Amino acid sequence: MQYGYFDEKAREYVITNPNTPAPWANYLGSPDYGAIITVNAGGYSFVKSGAAGRITRYIFNQFDEPGRYIYLRDEETGEFWSASWRPVRKPLEEYKTECRHGTSYTEFISEYKGIRSRALYYVPMGATHEVWRISLENLSGRPRKISVFGYVEFTCDSFYTQDLVNMQYTQFITRTDFKDSFILEHINEFCHVNPDGSNGSERFFGVAGAKVASYTGRRDAFLGRQRFDAPQAVLDGKCDNSLNYNGNPCGALQVSLDLFAGEKKTAAFLMGQKTESQAKEIIARYDDTEKTVNAELAELIAYWHGELENLKVKTPDARFDSMVNTWNAFQCFTTFVWSRAASLIYCGERNGYGYRDTVQDIQGIIHLDPELARKQLTFMLSAQVHHGAGLPLVKYSHNAGHEDTPEQESYVRETGHPHYRADDALWLFPTVYKYVAETGNTAYLDEEIPFADKDTGTVREHLKRAINFSMTHLGTHGMPAGLHADWNDCLRLGATGESVFVAFQLYYALRIMQEFCKNEPDYVKYLQDEAEKLLKIINENCFEDDRYIRGFTEDGQIIGSKKDNEASMWMNPQSWAVISGGATPEQADVILQTAYDKLNTPYGVELMTPAYRYEAFDGAAMILFNPGTKENGGIFCQIQGWAILAEALRGHGDRAFQYFAESSPASFNEDADRRVIEPYVHGQFIEGHDSPYAGRSHVHWLTGTASTVMVGCVEGILGLRPTIEGINICPAIPAEWDGFTMEKVFRGKQLKITVDNAAHKQGNPEKIVLNGEERPAGLIKDSELKDVNYITVVM
Ligand code: GLC
């Protein structure tokens, strides 16, 4: 079933049937003030941490409640509904509605009994409060008396677990006040009081643009013995002006918006963690509600659409375009900014950045905003320990040069991470390369950055030490040891066991470094020798005519041999053999074919197969999961990006695009019940063939999938491959496409690219025409580019 569509022009996903199979969500604000909002107006808000800074309550894994509710009540008939379909749920035949999820805002436009409502939710740029603008328009041709009730359920305590389960404490620390236009919640009111009388944990819920007709700060008074579909206050037509003292607080405000025929009126509910005087000041800013809101919305849209401007594609596949131009890109920014902080399935327990996750996330935005990417990249380099490894968890409070490391008990106590991972710092190589190639800023390699614990060095020095870390942690055959995990969190290969995936990552790193260290011939020689040696070891020990194995355990057992009954075929060693340049063309084609034959499903490639059931080795933690799920033979979505890229690098456009299409959220727009989660964002995994629910996806929004699939599409399918000298444009597209166009900003210059596929090829273009001059396909040097360039790529 289909629930909505992509409005490509507005860069919105429009949900026209709100009865979606899961709460389809959007992200507002930033982790400084973050808000998740769903099609049901469900979700929660927090300051800095979803776990420790929670200001509104949300019950996970239940009915997508509570939320940011706006009830509308016809005062003549007593009938009421909500600005979003839920919570009241009027029959959809009479209640016309759409939920427009945009880039950092969500708007519900509904019409019921002649009243059109527009409820717009957003966090203004750089602000730490949220806005719910409600506009009503009377289309009924007669005067109407409409009451609007705004409702939010505050937590009693910023620690959400405390709020939910330690009620002998949290129910007795809060009270609410009413101050003309807002409810103010106090927590631990008489503790840590500042000179201005506040203690910094106050939250407010206020209204601008209309006078408060009634209020309550008590959830029980608002709801009575009802639930959210018919709260007592809304049934009664007024709140009882009571305040909370112990028990559950809330913010509930009634305003009257009486409308002549054809008249429109606007008010705005405002909310945040603010003191009384800050709340007053914020509310005053919205006196001229429409004006302020319109200006703030325009600013938000300009910012976000600006961020997405650097690459625009128009291909024969509208869904591919929607994903690359808007939704995958917006998701990349969301993972970049939010990391794994908060969603509807986790909410900030991690309290820091995972090393590999963040370095991968950066890759997803380099083609759009390389300078923003650089800042985070520098931060991550500063989280490398002096010996080259990445800190497994980089605290939000990271203080480069002064951090403890997993060698120290204090770090372990604080983060729970006693071990290094084999892959963490190796992600730096492709990420630094992509940044330098996108911008041409080779001077970055000479930038001095501190290490996490002690010492400082240039970016190049940081990378050398990362190589050194791998070279001093080799296993029995001389390949990188698997340590506590490689990319796969469930694969514990230990201090002497080895990971073929990481071996290819290291091989790739050794190659990239040769380009970065051109002026150091001795070091380049070392890199070349080590790369050659490593490849030889890999080929001698890990290649089984149609596949690479996955690795070795500490006791020498092979993982991923074709002789095995379980887990005999793994995707990542195959895709990375190609991406790293380690596989010969012949090997590449064979292993990619085996991968396709053994791992492909209608919903993407499985991470490995057959899933573990009876023969898992001790370090195979994925056995915990049901077969066909997550790392145990699930369709891990992140690896689709590498599969797309590997096929594209071989010029296999049909296959690359097939992998994209099979697992792309947008492909399920019409079959959304199968996928369940949003058809506009990637999830972490899709259930594989072992599951009775194959095709169902999970763990929405904050996942490494966003960046790998983005890279697969941009570098792979679209073939935009910057190098240090310039850019290669080498599309790998379905043979049936006649061609496509794209516009890209590259090092400040406009590239207006037309790909001509009259030849109906899949890859390996023949020639290019650069500003009227024809030549064989290949590198376009930076120095050849004008401010605006017309480029035709002939396939
Ligand atoms: C999760 C983790 C990521 C890991 C992946 C595979 O997505 O966040 O770090 O690489 O699982 O195990």
The 3-state secondary structure of 699-766, one letter per residue:
EECCCCHHHHHHHHHHHHHCCEEECCCEEEECCCCCCCCCEEEEEEEECCEEEEEEEECCCCCCCCCC
- For residue range 148-188, list pLDDT tens digits in order: 999 999 999 999 999 999 999 999 999 999 999 999 999 99
**Mean pLDDT for the stretch of residues 270-274:** 98
Compute the distance from residue 329 Cα to the ligand 1 centre, in Å: 20
Q: Dump strand ranges (E) for 195-320.
A: 203-208, 212-218, 249-259, 264-272, 311-314
Q: Give the nearest ligand 1 atom to 704 CA.
A: 7
Q: Which residues line ligand 1 (CB under 6 A)?
A: 354, 356-357, 487-490, 631, 684, 703-704
Minimum CA distance residue for ligand 1 atom 6: 488
Predicted local distance difference test score (pLDDT) of residue 276:
97
Q: If pLDDT is split at 50, 70 and 90, which confidence band does 350 have?
A: confident
Q: How far apart are CA 180 and CA 543, in angstroms?
A: 74
H-run or E-run covering 146: strand 144-152
Question: Separation of 507 CA from ligand 1 center, angstroms?
Answer: 21
Residue percentage of the chain with pLDDT more than 90: 98
* pLDDT digit string, tens, across residues 196-206: 999 999 999 99
Map residue 151 onto helix, strand or coil: strand
In the predicted model, what is the mean pLDDT of residues 559-569?
97
Upstream peptide bond of 765 is cis (omega within 30 degrees of 0): no
Q: 637 C-alpha vs ligand 1 centroid, how far in Å?
A: 10
Give nearest CA residue, ligand 1 atom 1.
Answer: 489
Point out the residues that are catalytic.
489
Among the atoms of ligand 1, which is closest to the Cα of residue 636? 6
Q: What is the mean pLDDT of the chain?
A: 97
Q: Minimum mean pLDDT among 347-356, 578-587, 682-691: which range?
A: 347-356
Q: What is the mean pLDDT of residues 33-47?
A: 97
| pLDDT recorded at residue 675 | 98
With the most atoms of ligand 1 within 8 angstroms of its CB, the residue from 355, 360, 489 to mutate is: 489
State the pLDDT at residue 640. Answer: 98
Using only C-alpha atoms, the chain has a radius of gyration, in whole angstroms, of: 28
Question: Distance, CA 37 to ligand 1 centroid (Å)?
Answer: 25
**pLDDT reported for residue 476:** 95
Ligand 1 geometric centre to CA of 687 (Å): 16
Q: Which is the closest atom of ligand 1 to the Cα of 631? A: 12
Query: CB–CB of 734/377 below 8 Å?
Result: no
- pLDDT surpasses 80 at 2: yes
- The pLDDT of residue 431 is above 80: yes
Backbone angles phi, psi at 671, to 5 degrees: -125, 50
Residue of 487, 608, 699, 703 to test ligand 1 pocket, by largest number of atoms within 8 Å of CB: 487
Mean pLDDT of 522-533: 98
Handedness of CA 8, 14, 17, 22 (dihedral sign): positive
Determine what percent of the chain is predicted with pLDDT higher than 70: 100
CA nearest ligand 1 atom 9, residue: 357
| Best CA proximity match to 259, nearest among 369, 382, 117 | 117
State the sign of the Cα–Cα–Cα–Cα dihedral 660, 663, 664, 668: positive
Mean pLDDT for 119-127 is: 98
Q: Give the confidence band of 31 by pLDDT, cuts at 50, 70, 90.
A: confident
